[in-house]
Every structure is written in C-alpha cells, then in structure tokens.
Chains A and B, each alone.
Chain A
Amino acid sequence: MVSTHSTLKSMLNGSTTFRRGGIGRPPNSKRTHPRPGRHCVLPLAASVCFMLGAASAWAQPPSDVPLELRPYRVLISVGFAPEASFTPRFRQQVRDEMARIADRTFYQMWDCRMEENTWLTPANADGLSRVTSEVSLKRLGEVDYDKVFLLTVQLAGSRQLVAVREWDAATRELGPIFDEETPVRRRMAEHAMSAVARAFRPVLSIESSEDTTATLRLRAGAFPPPDPAAEQLRPGDVLQAFLKSRDFDGNVGRIQLLRWTYLVVDDVQGDRVTCTVASRLRAPLRGARRRVESLALATRVAHEATRLKLVLSSNTKRPLVGHQVRVLESILPEREAPRPSELFVTDRRGTVMLQRRSEGRLVWIYVLSGNSLLAKFPYVPGSEVQQTLGLSDDSIRLRVEGELDLLQGDLIDLVAKRAQHILLARKLADLDQWERVDEQLSLLRKLPNVGQFRQRLSTIRVPAIEAVRADKNSLAESRITKICTRMSELIDRYVDDDKIRSAEEQIAELRPDAGQ
C-alpha cells in the first residue's frame, strides 16, 4: 500500500486541538492555520447557520443550505481485532487521538464523530472486504451521516495494520479499502487517519454540462481544510457521475452510476469545479430531468491494477478471448493515426490487467477486433479490483475479414503472375519467339479474371450478411458491407481485364503478319 505520510506530517506538526464527541470546538481551542481570504466569512456564516438551524448537531441540515456550505457529517467506526494488546484504554486513546487529528486536518469541512464498531466480524481487513453495499445500506442507511468510514485495527506480526473503507450516503456506494501499517504503536492513530484521508471521496453536484465540459459544485467547498494536503480536489482528479432520482415526495429512489463516464477536474476555484467529460456515451450528462439530481463522486485508486474482463453482451458467460486492448493516455481524435500505446490481448478468461497510473489518472481503452473498433471508453485503472464489459459479437465480421485477407493474398499472386506473363510475352516478342509468346498469352488467359474474383467475394459477403441480419446486428452488417466494398474496389482496380486485352493488342501489333 502506498503510504501518504506526507499528508499527515502537516497534521502532526499542527496543534493538538480536538473536538470531543466529534462536534463543536473546545472553547480554548485556537486555529493554527490561516484561512484563505475569500473564504474567511463563509465558514463562519456556515457555522452559524448550521448551529442555529440544527436542534441537534447530527440532524439533517436544512435543504436550502447551499451544498458548498454543508459540511460532511462523518462517522468513523473503529473496529479492533480481538488482540490482548488492544486494551479498552488503548482503544479509547486511539479514538481520541484520531478525533484530534480529524479536527485539525479537516476542521469545519467535517463534522466528525468517532465510535467503536461492534458489528463488523471479523474486525480486520478481511472482514472489511466482505462488507457489501447492501450490508452497508442495511447497517448505515438509517444513520444520518454523509460519510461513514469503517476502520479496522489488527496486528500483523509485530506491526499494526489499519484498514479503512468509506461508505458514501449520497450514492450508497462503498469505496475501496485503503490500509496502512506501522511498527510504532503510538503512531497508529496518525496512520489510521492517513488511511481515512485517502479513502475520503468528495461529493459534488453537477450544475451544468456541455458535450465535453461540466461545471460542478463541491460539497463543503466553502470550508477549505487547515491542512492544504487535505484539499478535497486537485486538477487531474477523476470523478464518477451518478444520477440520483427522487419520487414526488422527495424520497431518494434509484441511484444510477453512469458507467464508463468520468469527469476529469480541470480547475478548482473554491467550491466551483470545472471538469472535462470523458465518456463512452455521447453527451451523457446533457438533458436535465426533473427530480433527478446529477452528482459526482471522486474516484480513489486503491489497487495496483484492475482486471478488466470482456464478455459477450448477449452471453456474459462467454469471455472474449484474444481481443486486442489498447490503452491510451488520452482520447484519440477521429481519423488520427494510431499513437504508440500499451497493447494487451485478453487471456482465456477474456481479461486484461490494467496497471494504475500515477495519481490515479484516467486512460482511454480501445477494444479492437481485427480492423474494427469494438469499444472505446475511459477508465481509471486501479479504482476497482475487477470490472466487466459486455461487447457485441464480432465473430462473423472477423471471419469475413479473414476470408478477405485470403482473397487478397490470391489477388497479390494474380497481379504478380499477370505481370510476369505479360513481361515474358513482350520479351519473347522482341526475340521473335512467337510460339513461346503464344504460350505465355495462353497462360495469361487461364488466370482467374474479374468475374471469378467477384464471385468469390459474393460467396464471402452474402452468407455473412444473412447471418448478421439474423442476429439483428446492423453495425456488423454495415462493417461487412464496407470491407467487402473496399475489396470489390481492389478487385476492379487490380484485376482489370482491359490490361490483358491491352497487352495482347500491343503484342499483336509486333507480330510479323500484323499488317496483313
């Protein structure tokens, strides 16, 4: 696991103020980090609104409070593995220390509360990995938090291992597991909070979007953290879009992840974020609908690689084996020549391993089948352990491509043989060896002609077209038609019988009895 000690270093060097119970600020606490000028007023106003508007600190904030003024209500649920060394006193110390670090790191951005987890079994990284979104929803859906961090502490030999996983209430999605380990017991809380910071996925609201750009509003964007390293977003970060629908009563209904649609952060100005849209779909965010909220959640890369599995969309049990997968750092403009790229071939399970990029960058993935592009989509390698993509069946078209390759091979032979016979006939005519000239011309005439090649082309095209029509695969049909048309043009161009006639006429003029 990659450690983010740099983030925590700034935390540790700061003051030791904390909020007991995760809310409010001790009267004697003092701010140690300067605030950016333009945000000086907003946090204060937000705090006032928040304090006044809420009977309880954990109550739902009023919906009319702008998103950027809404701090995250965070619960850190810490589970300790049943180890003798994890005494109640130790556990309490860890929680207290974590609360202090959270406060000085995020301050108003988070309203953080700590608790000891009692339901996660086993209380370790394995147990964490077994938690599903459904379990999370069941356990955490009722509680009134925006973010819940499930954190486990266990021993790994002489070292302490902390693992953390975030659950986001807005999207009801579980994030990946981040872990850190330390040999120093007293620094465990620091490492735990470092892992929490890494697991934290900011939430944004998509305010407007064009084909390739979007403007978003960042939750709690008005509360910059005291620690610059704890900033929610930076240019280059990648967000994933969600559509959250509500019923007439305003209850949350379906939350839909816009798969293969990402927003790459271009600029962050306080709470306002501008992004570039990268999607497999055309304009996926356009067309605002009533009662549908467009949200975005930052993508966090927790894995070294993602296993991407390609399957047949009509039969997901059938993997697409041996398909070329090209990975590019950016999208390839239309009609541009292919750039150097990483090339993979799907294995017998239809999978390829996509290694994570530095800082969790987005890549463009091109799935090829022969000379055709089967799919083109953006992805953040390392954001998931495995991802599956269903693609249409291209086998018939590919078979046609192979048969056309064979036909083209014969075409090459034919052209060379024609040239050979014509050349020889002309040479022999110059030498007045007319019997051998006739022999060459006879061989020339015996070679396959345009009609035969066209017939072969038809025997390739017609059954293939019928087959794809039966499958109702119009894309394959158009592609087959296209490559067959191209081959037909090649046949017309290179197997032109006029060339033979022209050569024969030229040779005939050279015959001694040509004038008679």
Chain B
Amino acid sequence: MKDMPNRITDAHSGNTLPVCVAVMLIVAVAVEPCDHLYAQFDKSDEQPSAAAEETDPNQTESEDASEIAVEEDLPLIGDLLADLPTVEQLLREPPVDWIVVKTRKDRVLIVEPIENRPGTLEKMQLAIEEFNVTPREPSESVEDWRQRFIDLHYLKLFVVGDATEYQLHMEEIDRIIHHEDQMLLRVDALLEERGFDDALQLLFALNRLNPDWPGASDRHNRLLFLESKVHFERGDAETALARLEQLHARGDDYPGLYAQLGTVADSLISTSVESDDFLQARHFLKRLQNLERNHSTARRWRQTFLDDATALMNDARSSSSQRDPQAACAAVEQAARIWPRAPGLFDLHQRLLSQFPRLHSGVLRLSNDSSGFPLPTAVEERIDQLTRIRLFELDSFDDVAHYRSRLFDHWEPTDLGRRSIFRLTQFRFPWESAPLLRSADIVEALSDRMNPSSQMYDDRLAAAVRSMKIRSPSEFELGFDQVPLRTEALLSFAVPKRSPESRPDRLARSALQGDALSQRFMETQRTDDSVVYRRVYDQIATGSKFHVAEVVEHRYATYDAAIQGLHRGEVSMLARLRPPHVGQISEDSRFFVQQSALPFTHVLQFHPQSFIVGSLELRRALAYGIDRRRLLTEIVLEGDDWQWARLVTAPFPSGHNAYDPLLEHRVYDRTLAYQLVAAARKRMQGNVPQLRMICEPDPIVEAVAREMIKEWSLIGIDIELLDTSSVDFQAGGAWDIVYRTVRMYEPVAQLWPFLTFDSRAQVDSLVHLPDWLRQELIELDAATDSTRARALLRTLHSHLYSQVHLIPMWEVDDFLVFRKDIDGFDVRPVAPYHGIERWTLKPWYPPTAP
C-alpha cells in the first residue's frame, strides 16, 4: 500500500485507507474537488479538514490508471445480487450495507450499517430541503451555516474492516442496499424456493431488528399465502387454513385470500364429512365463518348440513311412526351430529332417545378385531359379560368372589351338599333382558358339557356331577360325586342355544340369533370403528323410565384419544381408564370415575412347549432381570404415585384371601440374572436360542414389553417381540413368552385353566408341569372346604412363584368413567357393563358450537 501514489490519510491517526475505499474517494475528489470530499471530519475540533488541501490535484491523472486497476477489487452489484448472502451469513455475521456507487459501473462499497435508516438518501434529501427553507439563526456564523449545508450532502460511513469514518457525497450514491434489504432479497429468493422456514426465520430476525422495515410485512403476507398454498397442495389442508387465518389477521385484503379460504375450508369440511366426523366439519366451518361470515363456501355448507339434518329428522319421524326405534334413534343422533342447530331437532332427539337410550362407550379394542393375539383378553371378558347370561355371574368381590343368578330364583344344597335343587325364575323384570328358561334347557346344556365327545365338554363338571333330575319344568336337581367347593363357580357358564326348531314358540325372533340361549345383548351392527349391541329381549314400558337399549362401542387408537372422545361428547363412558388419568377426570364435574372391584394383574407366562419351561435358571434369570418397580412407575403409572398399583407375587388379586402377603418379592438384580443366564447357557451347551415374545394388543403393555426386552438384552437374553397380527398361531406360529393381563376372581377354579392356556380345566393340559405341582393343582381342584382350598392355594402360590412357572409383575386398579347423565351403575363394578340392563341414560345432545 505504501507504493500507492494516491493516498488519503486519516487526519487523526494517519492510517492509510484500504485501496478500494481510497480509490473511490479519489474519484469523488476528481468530480468535485472543492466541496465533495472530506477526510475524517471531526466536528468536535471544529477545524476544517486539511484533507482536501493535502490532496495533490496534479496526481489526479496519474491515478486514473490505478483507479481502474483497483476498482476491480470492488464487487459488482449484479454479482452480489446473484449470490446473495445465505441465511446463516445474514443472521450470524456482522450486518453490512451495500452502497452502489452511481458512476462506477455498479461497483458496490460494502460498509458497516449506516445510521439513519431506512430511506437514508431520502432522509438526506429531506434534510437539505428543510435546510433551504429554514432561516439561519443569528447566533450561527455564515461559515458555520455554510459548512452545515455542505455536511448535509455527505453520507458518513465506515468501511468494513476500517475504523475510520468517511464521507461520501450523496450524488455519488446510486442506491443503498441495507442489511435489512439484503434479508428481504434473501426472503424473496427463499420464497421462490419454498424455503419457508428459513424465510420465516429471517423475517422474525428482521422484525426484531426493525419492526417497520419497508417491505417486510408484504414479504410476511406473501410467505403465509404461499405456505398455505404449498401445504394445501401437499394435502395438509388444516395447516393451510391456519396460515390463511394468520394472513387474514394481518389483513383481509391480500389478493386471492378470499378464494383460497374457500378452497381450503371446502376441502377440510368435505374430508370431515366423508370420514363421518361432523363435529370436525362444523369446527372448520366455524373457523371459516369467523373469518368471513358470509363466505359463499360457508353459506353452502350451512345449507347442506341443514338439509341433511332435516332429511334425517324426517327419516327419524318416519321410523318412529313405523315402530322402529333403533332406526329412528340412529337417524336423529346422526342429525344431531350433523347440524345440532336444526330447528326442532333438540325436541325430537330428546323424545326419541329417552324411549330408546343408546349408550356410547369408548374402548381401545372391539371384539373379534384383527390383533391375532391367541389368548383371551379383557375384551373378550367384557363382551362376554355384555352379551351372555351365565347361570351364575360374579356380583361383587371383596376378599372372595360373590355370585348371583338371573336365571334361578332359588338354589339349595341338600344331603350335606351332595345334591342341589335349583328353581328357575318364572318372572322377568321389565328392565331385564333375560330368557325364561326351562329345566330341560339347562339339563341339556349340562349334559352337553358332560359329554366327552362334545366340543363343550367340561371335564371338571363331568367329574363332579353324578346325576341330573328334572323335577318339574322349573326345577331340577343335581347330584354330586363330590361336594363342590363353589357350586356357583362350577356352573358359571352360559346356556348354549338349542336348535331353533326345538322351541320357536317360546322365544323372541331376535333371541334365536347368536350362539347362546341365555343372551343379554347381541351384536347387530359392525363397522371398522364401532360395534352396536342391542338388547335381546326388549324392555317392557312401565312408565317414562327406559333403560339402556343399545350399546355402541367406539374404537380409539390410544387411551388419550378415548379421553378426547369423552370430552368431545362422542362417548358417554370409557370401559377402561388408566390410573394416570384418574385424577384429571375425577376433577371434571361432568363425569363419575368408578373404581372396578377387580384390578388387572400383569403376568408373564411361558409356552408349555417352549424350551424355557425346562430351564429353571433361565426362568429365574428372566424374573430377576425385570426392574418391575421402574417399569411400573415410569410406563404404567407415568410417574404417578403408587396409589393405584402394587407389585405382586401371584396372578390373582392381592386382596384375595388366599394371597400370601408375606411371600418375599424378588428384587431386581441384573448381576444375579446375568449369572443365572451364564448357568443356563452352560447347561444348554453354550447357546441360549432367541426367545419369541407376544403381548396383549394394548399400547401400555406393548411399551412395557419393549422395555423389558431391552432389560433382558442387558443380561444376554435375546428376545424378539412378535407382531401377533402377522403370525398365524393356528398354523404353528410359536411363541415362548406371553405378556398378558388377567382378572382372576376365583383362583380355585380359574388358576388351572390360566396356567394351561385352556378354556377348561383338562387334566391332560397339565402335562408340562412337574408331577408334584400337577398333583397340587388336582388336589386344589378336588378340595371341598374353603379352609383347605385356601391353604392349598397359598401353597400353590408360593410354589408357582418359587419355581417361576409364571412371573407376576404388578396389579393395576381399573377404573371406569361415566358421564353424569348415566344412572344406575354399580359403585364397585366387577366388569365394565356390570348390571347394564338397569342403567338409565339421559339423552346427551351435542353442543351447538361449533
């Protein structure tokens, strides 16, 4: 730089200017040598700068050559615009302004942000004009006044990388592209490239820097509009609508906004209507109306909904007049879902549904779904309880099970319990949905269950019953080979249907559908996401009070979705509520939360044919390798306290009188588990095959299963979690471990089938158990007094736990939620639909808004 012929020195420091800047300034001197260029004007000294004088005019010509050479170092505006700074550069690097010099072939001077922005040149021009019309103050000297006028024509600037302040005459400036303008230019480019996130980031940054920067708002509007369009094209119409709402809030006059709103809202409403979600359709319609009340799309949909609802109301009236309450209620409910504000709908809805109450229940799984899980679950239990009437049914549970019977008026043991006389009920309450059976029906069912060639053969019953005698059409007698411990548990089955020809005269037509004679409700309609169950025997109208006539089960993907459905009014009860949600729902005054009498026990079991049954070390390793406390807390209870859950050592409830609370729990010990796996591996010649696990189709159970598999992998056990829906178990698809939940209220009778994965207690299904354990189960099965049975059960409890024939993990209390419109349910129900025939239900009308 020292060899440069033309240098302008800073008046204060004597620093040499950077070449490019120096050249530019020289150029300015050449144009207007007298006034236009000052180097470092320090106003505080009030000394005219000597820079002009120091500049040798004779050097001007000689500088022209070098001027051209160095001018090439300055960037061209075209190049800069073609290669705009990136988002990262704009946000992270120090801001710079670009000054495009008018006479130098669009060369750009890159300077530090100029003060007095935006519209710097315009503001300078404005100041000059103001100066011209303002008279000089008498106190100001002419020289100063003149100097001030000259100063107004110069832009003060700092070249990037140089601390020296320079001035540039405004006439030399073609335009100034501020840092903010550069951001907007980049935003424009990003919008073209559909880089909405970066563009929004830049606009936010710009808004923080200078909220009123010219052009920023337009860019933001354009961003919202374009983003909406792109989302809509991608099929995400709801986000598109949200963007349009934002745009509308910024101003409703954006070109094309009105039309786009109509397009997007129409698409959303149409989709919702197609998926039969009218609540959502009305929600979108409402959003559209909030923006444009009289939008043509909104008007059209309002009219469509009203027309549909009116048509359904007419259908409902017609069905009602034809004495088809099911169709009438279905139509009026649908009308209320479509357009609750339809005139006259509320009255019609209340009138029809009060006579034919329909209970909408939220569940996670419907019956006969495609989960493929090979063992019975709580779903089958729920549906069985809803649809079938067993001879004896569980009524309540404290420390033992208590039964009741709908079909018997009276049953009395005689001959020291060796005989029992059963008297069948001959009367049906108006609310009951139960058949009036004859002795022959039940004796035939018993005979069928005692016939070894029958599919219904029950070895336990066949061994217990010695004789059957029909004393009258309403009375029969059973003689027992051995006095049964609980006759009720022995006879806890539904009476299967006989051939329709055998008794067409006595039963209603509807009762001949389904597979059981003693039916309560039966499935009448099924879609992918719902199943309708209707009373088999219609209730007899005795007044204005009608009981639940239909149960409509709605499927939800998750527990959270089911709760949302409850809040939205889609369902009036939830058949299962998990403990983490109990507090939240209990606080809601719209609902009752009832604790079920029976908790769910989470248990791991082993397949009888699996090699794991023969390896005590491996079974123990699996038991020691589960951190039950953590899994229960973190996944099942979601961090909630243990008020509604406990670690257990048996597959039956800890509240049962045979549960031994003193049995020591196995403590999680990964090192010990690892040692046991090593021992098992040694016994298996160094190779423990991969285990296959299945679990109940429940989100929580699946999450726990996955976590357990991770824990087991740490001790060297490789386990694969099978997708039960893709495995054909009947065709030989095998598994080693199953994770299931169970509610065992009568372990004396239920433990055996549970251990053998059999629906009945068949002796040959015990073959996989050691002989001594098998004999203990047989002894329990033959027990005739409760004290002995309890003692045997406690022994079995201890032995099963010790030998790890199953791994009980924890039990979790179960809850049900009822909307307060439901009345008559049990305070401590033993099943979701416990006593449902007596429930009453006020018609629930959907809120008119949205």
Interface residues of A (CB under 8 A from B): 321-324, 343-349, 368-371, 395, 398-399, 401-402, 405-406, 408-410, 412-413, 415-417, 419-420, 423-424
Contacts and interface: CB of A to CB of B under 8 A. Distances in A.
B675 A419 contact: yes
Closest 9 CB pairs of A and B: A402-B772, A348-B463, A416-B675, A370-B771, A345-B764, A322-B778, A322-B774, A347-B763, A420-B671
B210 interface: no
B803 A406 contact: yes
B178 to A, nearest CB: 65
A345 B767 CA distance: 7
B7 interface: no
Interface in B665-701: 669, 671-672, 674-676, 679
Contacts of A370: 770-772
A347 B771 contact: no
A406 B802 contact: yes
Contacts of A410: 802
Contacts of B826: none
B620 A412 contact: yes
Is the contact region of chain A dominated by helix, strand, or loop, or is it mixed? helix
27 contacts: A321-B763, A322-B763, A322-B777, A322-B778, A324-B767, A343-B767, A345-B766, A347-B764, A348-B463, A348-B781, A349-B463, A370-B770, A398-B771, A398-B775, A402-B770, A402-B772, A405-B772, A405-B803, A409-B804, A412-B616, A412-B679, A416-B617, A416-B620, A416-B672, A417-B672, A423-B675, A424-B671
Nearest to A319: B463
Contact of A416 (B462, B679, B766, B803): B679
B172 interface: no
B760 to A, nearest CB: 12
Contacts of B286: none
Contacts of B782: 321
A420 B621 CA distance: 13
Interface in B753-789: 762-764, 766-767, 770-778, 781-782
Interface in B520-561: none
Nearest to B463: A348
B307 interface: no
Contacts of B620: 409, 412-413, 416
Nearest to A343: B767
A369 B804 CA distance: 22
B676 A412 contact: yes
A423 B674 CA distance: 12
Contact of A322 (B463, B617, B766, B804): B766
Contact of B770 (A345, A395, A405, A424): A405
A50 B616 CA distance: 74
Contacts of B802: 406, 409-410
Contacts of A345: 763-764, 766-767, 774
Which one of A323, A343, A413, A423 has the highest number of Cβ atoms from chain B below 10 Å of its Cβ?
A413
A370 B772 CA distance: 7
A395 B774 CA distance: 12
A311 B60 CA distance: 132
A408 to B, nearest CB: 8
B771 A401 contact: yes
Nearest to B776: A402
B459 interface: yes
Given A321-B763, A348-B463, A370-B770, 17 more contacts: A322-B771, A322-B777, A324-B767, A347-B763, A348-B462, A371-B771, A395-B775, A401-B772, A402-B770, A402-B772, A405-B772, A406-B799, A409-B620, A412-B679, A413-B672, A416-B675, A420-B675
A456 B774 CA distance: 23
Contacts of A369: 771
B459 A348 contact: yes
B767 A402 contact: no
B382 interface: no
Contact of A344 (B672, B762, B764, B803): B764
B194 interface: no
Contacts of B674: 420
A3 B486 CA distance: 49
Nearest to B764: A345
A80 to B, nearest CB: 32
A305 to B, nearest CB: 12
A465 B669 CA distance: 38
Nearest to B674: A420
Interface in B791-835: 799, 802-804
B777 to A, nearest CB: 8
Contacts of A343: 767
Nearest to A419: B675
A395 B776 CA distance: 10
B803 A409 contact: yes
Nearest to B769: A322
A324 B766 CA distance: 10
Contacts of A323: 771
Contacts of A324: 767, 771
B772 A399 contact: yes
B460 interface: yes
A368 B803 contact: no
Contacts of A413: 620, 672, 676
A24 B317 CA distance: 99
B770 A412 contact: no
Contacts of A408: 616
Nearest to B767: A345
Contact of B460 (A344, A348, A371): A348
A276 to B, nearest CB: 32
Nearest to B464: A348
Contact of B771 (A348, A368, A409, A423): A368
A453 to B, nearest CB: 15
A348 B762 CA distance: 9
Contact of A420 (B672, B774, B775, B776): B672
Nearest to A402: B772
Given A412-B617, A412-B620, A424-B671, A322 B679 contact: no
Nearest to B772: A402
Nearest to A348: B463
A421 B778 CA distance: 41
Contacts of A415: 679
A152 B795 CA distance: 58
Contacts of B462: 348
Contact of A321 (B770, B773, B778): B778
A468 to B, nearest CB: 16
Given A345-B767, A346-B763, A409-B620, A416 B676 contact: yes
A339 B770 CA distance: 19
A415 B675 CA distance: 9
B804 to A, nearest CB: 8
Contacts of B671: 420, 423-424
Contacts of A346: 763
Contacts of A368: 771
Interface in B736-767: 762-764, 766-767
B714 to A, nearest CB: 15
Nearest to B781: A348
A334 B675 CA distance: 37
A347 B459 contact: yes
Nearest to A401: B772
Nearest to A370: B771
Nearest to B670: A420
Nearest to B669: A420
From A321, A348, A349, A410, name the one whose CB has the most chain B CB atoms within 10 angstroms: A348
A322 B775 contact: yes
Contacts of B460: 348
A368 B772 CA distance: 12
A321 B782 CA distance: 10
Contacts of B676: 412-413, 416
A205 B616 CA distance: 56
Interface in B441-464: 459-460, 462-463
Contacts of A401: 770-772
Contacts of B774: 322, 345
